[in-house]
Structure 1
Amino acid sequence: MSQTPARPLRVAMVGHAFMGNTHSQAWRTAPHFFDLPLRPEMAVVVGHDADRAAAAATRLGWAESSADWREVVARDDIDLVDICTPGDTHAEIAIAALRAGKHVLCEKPLANTVAEAEQMAAAAEEAHAHGVRTMVGFTYRRAPAIALARRMVEEGRVGQVRHVRAQYLQDWIADPDAPLSWRLDKSRAGSGALGDIGAHVIDLTQYLTGDRIAEVSGRLETFVKERPYPAGETAGSLGGGGSTGELGPVTVDDAASFLATFSSGAMGVFEATRFATGRKNAIRIEVNGSLGSLAFDFEDMNVLEYFDARDDAEVAGFRRILATEPGHPYVAAWWPPGHGLGYEHGFTHQVVDLVEAIAAGGDPAPSFADGLQVQRVLAAVETSSDTRTWQEIPPR
């Protein structure tokens, strides 16, 4: 018996660098492995340079390209706008898209400032009344082992959460001769390790615990305060490549650490750095509760470690759960047990969750309101570092 074809969901993506690559693969892949209620169509990719955008469209599988995001957002044949640009452009693009009646997926962090994030969340709330949906791209939530950990916390397997420890460790600018890029420019990135990678572990710990960070005490540090401009470039024109020898200022943090108190009273210890020599993308989360513990490390991303404090002492210990069984979140759509998933699958799962929520008229998570709450934590850590004081996080 024939079935009615799924209604198309026509997507425009703004930005086609690293995040644009990962999002493109997700939009291409999701409908081939998951039975989606809407059919994503990769309608148009947007970049500031017309020739490069056209090349990206051909390479990544988009039907057409444009160098004018405003024109694309205004088009009647676009249903969803996917924002993969630096943080200084998020608010303008997202608010324009929402006012044009488009669903919006926006990369993290939501914005560069709390004020911008508040404007975006307000626009999302207004658009929600008209059936328009939003999501922030905290994709690590969608690693099967992390989603399984969330389920286990919800089921009470660790009891009352008492301790949360979270690290995000990289080393890509540990070399002081590594050139400047937009990620090291506060006017474009908002912050450094704190906002770029610290935002992920803030979101992950709140997601896992179902709790909210209520206060923080933090410190930021910039170890290398000047770096060479990329080859052929000077101030105001940052890109990739080698160095000219001329130095420019690093205006963001290289590393962040902070203590946190959750609304339940649980204690948290956080670290985000781009100077952890030898660590490429290590996300380490541990949750200790009254009945057990959970531990995750993205460098072994298909594994979740679980300790059950109710086991007899003679056999007690952390057990290694290989999160590749069909009953684990998302896994049934992929490979046989033991055949692990990778970084890119989180983006595919993000598309799946977003499309299903839109089709059902539900609320995708994390929402712009969730992204705003993370932004408030980031701002509080920065203020705490400046003032050497504890900072409370305003409630939503």
Structure 2
Amino acid sequence: MAPKGQSEQADSGTEAGKPPLGVGMVGYAFMGAAHSQGWRTVGRVFDLPRRPVLAAVCGRDREAVTVAADRLGWAAAETDWRDLIARDDVDLVDICTPGDSHAEIAVAALEAGKHVLCEKPLANTVEEAEAMVAAAERARARGQVAMVGFNYRRVPATALARRMIAEGRLGTLRHVRVSYLQDWLVDPEFPLTWRLRKDTAGSGALGDLGAHIIDLAQFLAGEPLVGVSAVTETFIRERPLLDGASAGLSGTGGGSGRGQVTVDDAALFTGRLASGALASFEATRFAAGRKNALRIELNGELGSLAFDLERLNELSFHDHTEPGVSAGFRRILVTEPDHPYLDAWWPPGHGLGYEHTFVHQARDLVHAVAEGTAPEPSFADGLQVQRVLSAVEESAAKNSVYTSVPAA
């Protein structure tokens, strides 16, 4: 269960006397900006045992990474991640790159004696993830920590849901149903970015969105998925090429010709948890009108819980032990100081946003580093998600031919 925040906010005087924790970040696009926000803010909100210092950020383009360093608050810029790892002022390496580089950078950083935070999914393959877990276990014996960045665990509402489920408020779990819907690929002329290539992204909506909902379902349920049955689809199989090698999430096609999309656009799968509870999952980037619509509901013998990312400060809870005449779903506004993380923020009723999950992520990781405790989610947790992703792909390949339904 995610820890609560600290009631005493840090001021500049107390921060100055704390040992620094030098952070070096590889990558500075969407996730890099989000992680930077977390590192810049965390020491100004939470009373931390160490003081995060934004030592250096790394990117291949010297001009672009220098601009990013200034904009995002980093003291220096590097163009080779090996140079960043070698810096004496970097204690922790934060990896915000496409999945094809996660394993190489993480293993090298751990072997160099650094702590590591790696964005999800942990890797592009199970084999890469296994190598990362092995490196993390060796590093753990030396006092280092490694964490994978599933930030939706650190929404106060989902952390509260995990607490309630762990306390038995739902009783025996029966169902988990979860979906993650986006629409940024609906336009067939959207360009062929790195997220649409298997060699860089590993998979499409499955790894990008599915990894989040697999981890969140397992985290809230408190148990792993042990079997899946899946179908996937690629709706647009060719897209315009982009000029340059560093395609991001946005922009329009500026290159010539078209290239093959080599990942899925959508994934649907059912699953079974270790307890026997049933689960269903949908991940797509083709749901017109849905921008970042993640929703999860869990049903148990004693009640139900539901969370919607577009209502980030709320939980819906049904207590099935109440008399039917007055029972029903009720709204829990998750802004009270005794809710997870919230005693460091604003008065009750003043909600938080998406960016705060990265502040909470940084908070928990700094405590793990300072206290020598194993952070969650661990690289082993990331490997478990990777194994589910692989099983989904394997099942989808086997289910590529549908059984015909007889005509009426």
Q: TM-score normalized by structure 1?
A: 0.95
SS of residue paired to 1:158: coil
1:79 matched residue in structure 2: 91
Q: Name the amino acid aligned to 1:373.
A: Q
Residues 1:70 and 2:57 are matched in the alignment: no
Which residue does 2:127 correspond to in 1?
115
* Counterpart amino acid of residue 257 in structure 2: E
Deviation, structure 1 residue 373: 0.5
Residues 170-227 of structure 1 deviation map (CA, whole Å, 9 limit, x = unaligned): 0000111111100001000000000001000000010001010000000110001011
Q: Please give the per-residue CA displacement for 1:26-51, whole angstroms capped at 9, x wherever unaligned.
A: 00000000000010000000001111
2:222 is aligned to 210
Q: Which residue in 1 is equivalent to 2:252?
A: 242
2:391 to 373, 377, 380: 380
Instruction: Note if 1:12 corresponds to 2:24.
Output: yes
How far apart in 2 are the matches of 1:228 and 1:237? 15
237 and 67 in structure 1: CA distance in 2 versus 1, 3 angstrom threshold: closer
Q: Kindly indicate whether residue 375 of structure 2 is the aligned counterpart of residue 364 of structure 1.
A: yes
Q: State the 1:242 CA deviation.
A: 2.2
Report the alpha carbon displacement of residue 238 of structure 1 after superposing the two structures with TM: 4.3
> Which aligned pairs between 1:24-43 and structure 2 lie closer than 5 A?
24-43=36-55
Which residue of structure 2 lines up, in the alignment, with residue 284 of structure 1?
295
Letter in 2 for 1:148: L
SS in 1 for 2:55: strand
Q: Is the 8 A contact 1:229 1:238 kept in 2?
A: no
SS at structure 1 position matched to 2:186: coil
SS at match of 2:241: strand
**Matching residue within 341, 363, 370 for 1:352:** 363
Q: CA deviation at 1:241?
A: 2.9
| 1:373 alignment partner, SS class | helix
Q: 1:175 aligns with which of 160, 172, 187?
A: 187
Contact 1:14 1:81 in 2 (8 A): yes
In structure 2, C-alpha distance between the alignment counterparts of 1:139 and 1:297, rounded to whole Å: 15
1:310 aligned residue: 321
* Rounded Cα–Cα distance in structure 1 between residues aligned with 2:19 and 2:47: 13
Aligned residues: 385
- Compute the displacement of 1:237 (Å): 6.6
Match of residue 231, structure 2, among 215, 219, 238? 219
1:247, distance to aligned residue in structure 2 (A): 1.4
CA–CA distance in structure 2, aligned partners of residues 375 and 89 of structure 1: 15
2:141 aligned with 1:129: yes
How far 1:375 sits from its partner (Å)? 0.2
Q: Which one-letter code corresponds to 2:22 in the other structure?
A: R
* Cα distance in 1, alignment partners of residues 247 and 179 from structure 2: 29
Aligned-partner residue type, residue 355 of structure 2: E
Give me the identity figure in percent.
63
How far has the Cα of 1:245 moved from its partner? 5.7
Query: Which residue pairs with 1:198 in the alignment?
Result: 210
Which SS does the other structure have where 2:174 is aligned? strand
1:320 pairs with 2:331: yes
Matched position secondary structure for 2:358: helix
The separation in 2 between residues aligned to 1:40 and 1:98, in whole angstroms, is 19
Counterpart-to-counterpart distance in 2, 1:173 and 1:83? 25
* Corresponding position of 2:5: none
Distance in 1 (alpha carbons) for counterparts of 2:275 and 2:47: 39
Structure 1 residue 75 displacement after superposition: 2.2
Structure 1 unaligned blocks of 5 or more? 390-396
Give the match for residue 257 of structure 1.
268
Separation of aligned partners in 1, 2:251 and 2:378: 36
Aligned match of 1:91 in 103, 114, 122?
A: 103
Q: Counterpart of 1:104 in 2: which secondary structure? A: strand
- SS of the equivalent of 1:265 reads coil
1:49-80 deviation line (CA, Å, top 9, x unaligned): 11111111100000111101101212232100
SS across alignment from 1:374: helix
Q: Secondary structure at the match of 2:257?
A: strand
Give, in whole Å, the separation in 2 of the partners of 1:361 and 1:89: 27
Q: Give 3-state SS (helix, strand or coil) of 2:276's partner.
A: coil
- Work out the CA distance in 2 between the residues paired with 1:308 and 1:6: 45
Q: Which amino acid aligns with 2:334?
A: A
Give the match's secondary structure for 2:94: strand
Q: What is the identity, as a one-letter code, of the residue corresponding to 1:149?
A: A
Equivalence for 1:271: 282
1:139 aligns with 2:156: no
* 1:330-355 C-alpha deviation (Å, 9 max, x unpaired): 11111111111000000000000000
User: Which shifted more, 2-11 or 214-223?
Assistant: 2-11
